[in-house]
Structure 1
Amino acid sequence: MIEIVAYNALWAKDFLQQKEKIQNALEGNALAVHHIGSTSVPHLAAKNIIDIQVTVAEFTNEIERGLNRIGYKRLHHILSDHRPQGYDHLSEKQLSKWFFISNEPAVNLHVRLQHSFNQRYALLCRDYLRAHPYAAKAYEEIKKQLAKHFQNDIDAYYDIKDPVFDVIMSGAELWSEKVGWKPQMAE
């Protein structure tokens, strides 16, 4: 069941606790650990699942073992992110990821390659929504309506949400050029 809940300030605290565990478990293999997704945007309603991005130089078995040791389970069937319209030129490597879940707290963990399109996409969209509260509120309303109409259909929810987020990405790209935004390695 898809449920959008009010912003919870504890999400940031939960992220910091998970970040420390992840960094310790990966022993230097994590180049960066970022809080991403809707729970990373202050005052934005979201699914009560923290999204975390771990940036790595390469995918290694050592990374998977380290995350398994601290309770993260890899979903092996998820190997890449959604390809936005107009980005047909991207290689599979630019969209590749390893995806892990954990239940306490609920976390979706995305392991992505440094300098890849999808690694940048997550950070750019997060920072854009943080800097544009009206865009964030409009996005929140879309998610609430999608959850209301597709409460038990996660595929339909994402079939609509992903292209909407691509529209946000277009605005975020223009904003990044205007302000000189660059992804930061430290949170």
Structure 2
Amino acid sequence: MALTSEISPYNPQWPLLFTAENRRIAEGFGAELIGTHHIGSTAVPGLSAKPEIDILVVVSEHINEVARSEFMRTLGYVRGTDLSVGHHFYRRDVDGVRTHKIHVCVAGHGQIARMLRFRDLLREDSTIRKQYQDLKLRLEANNRGGIAEYLAHKAPYIDALMNMHLGD
């Protein structure tokens, strides 16, 4: 079973794709928008990744969710299941291939610091970056259960890494 897209070598266009998409989505968050961040593997120079641009949107609160979801739908996004209280998720596929994921979190949500810290660790430490890349490629090569299996097998590595680097 395939992942949402195939892992490919780092593409220097990914930050530009983030910037372009960030401009498209920003108006949908209005006054509640605090900030946006390029996260995930496409935000890490030199790291192979599924070419899916991950964007973290930090908001003051979740207001007018119906209007926001409708706006996002006009841009080709589908609202997924909330990942936790205060952590909304949108995805966009083009021709059956995932291209973008949007995480919308209320300021102060624990996942904000976690996602940014993980990204920064990968950017700062070439050994961690290489270990993570090797893990992802191995999981992709052995994957039989799709994206859920892939994510479940990555989680212990990420959790252990984050536990080691809390407070750095």
Aligned counterpart, 1:182:
none
TM-score, structure 1 as length reference: 0.78
Contact 1:35 1:52 in 2 (8 A): yes
Structure 2, unaligned stretches of length 5 or more? none
Corresponding residue for residue 100 of structure 1: 90
Greater CA drift, 27-36 or 114-123: 27-36
Aligned counterparts of 1:110 and 1:161: Cα–Cα separation in 2: 18
Tell me the alpha carbon deviations over residues 74-122 of structure 1, each in whole angstroms, 9 at most, x when there is no partner. Answer: 11xx2225xxxxxxxxxxx4xx411101135810111111111111111
1:11 Cα deviation after fit: 0.7
Q: TM-score normalized by structure 2?
A: 0.87
| Alignment check: 8 A CA contact 1:37 1:51 kept | yes
Q: Which moved more, 1:154-163 or 1:29-38?
A: 154-163
- 3-state SS of paired residue (1:27): helix
AA aligned to 1:45 is S
Number of equivalent positions:
160
Mean CA deviation greater in 153-162 or 116-125: 153-162
1:68 aligns with 2:47: no
Q: Residue 115 of structure 2 aligns to which amino acid in structure 1?
A: A
Q: Does 1:132 align with 2:125?
A: yes
Q: Percent identity?
A: 28
Where does residue 169 of structure 1 map in the other structure?
162
RMSD of aligned residue pairs (Cα, Å): 1.8
Distance across 2 between alignment mates of 1:154 and 1:108: 14
Relative to its length, the structure with more strand (as a share) is: 2
Matches of 1:72 and 1:66 in 2, distance apart? 9
Task: Please say if 1:112 is aligned against 2:105.
Answer: yes
Matched, 1:37 2:71: no
**1:48 and 2:51 aligned:** yes
CA distance in 2, matches of 1:106, 1:137: 24
Distance 1:172 1:64, change over 3 A: farther
Q: Which amino acid aligns with 1:43?
A: G
Given that 1:56 and 1:114 are in contact with CA atoms closer than 8 Å, whether structure 2 keeps it comes out as yes
- SS in structure 1 at match of 2:108: coil
Contact 1:5 1:45 in 2 (8 A): yes
